[in-house]
Amino acid sequence: MSFPVFLLLIFLFKSDVSKSEADMRSIIISALEKATFFLANKYRDINLDAVFGFHVLQAHLKGALENWASEHELLSQQARVERLVKKLSFLIEKATHSLGQSDLEYFKEFEPVLGPNFWMLPHSWNQTDSSLAYSVFDSSSCFTEEMSDKCFTYLLGTWKDNGKPCVVTKACRNIMTKFGCSGYPLSHQLFYFMFAAMKGCSDHLFLMTQYYKNIFCASMMKINLVIESIGFTFSSRDLFMENIMLCGMSGFSDFYKPSWLENILTWQKPEEGCFGKPSENSEQPSRVKDQEQLLRRVKRREKVFADGCSSHNTAVAVGVLGGFLYYY
Beta strand ranges found along the chain (DSSP E):
292-297, 300-305
**Residues 235, 278 contacting (CB under 8 angstroms):** no
9 within some domain: no
5 within some domain: no
For residues 28-40, one letter each, b for 16 or more C-beta atoms within 10 angstroms of the residue's C-beta and e for the rest, the string is bbebbebbbebbe
pTM of the shown model? 0.88
Amino acid at residue number 174: N
2 within some domain: no
> Phi first, then psi: what are they for 30, rounded to 5°?
-60, -40
CB atoms under 10 Å from CB of 83, counted, come to 13
155 within some domain: yes
18 within some domain: no
271 within some domain: yes
Per-residue pLDDT reduced to its tens digit, 17-44 = 455 777 899 999 999 999 999 999 999 9
What does the pLDDT read at residue 283? Answer: 42
DSSP 103-170: SHHHHHHHGGGGSTT-----SS-B---GGGS-SS--SS--S-HHHHHHHHHHHHT-SSTTPPSS---H
Mean pLDDT by 10 residues, the chain (328 residues): 48 48 92 97 93 97 94 88 97 94 90 91 97 92 92 97 96 97 96 97 97 98 98 96 98 98 97 88 38 36 86 97 97
4 within some domain: no
Number of domains in the chain: 1
83 within some domain: yes
Which domain range does residue 147 map to? 26-68+76-278+289-327
Residue 20 parent element (H or E)? helix 3-42
Per-residue pLDDT reduced to its tens digit, 107-152 = 999 999 998 889 999 999 999 999 999 999 987 879 999 999 999 9
What does the pLDDT read at residue 73? Answer: 77
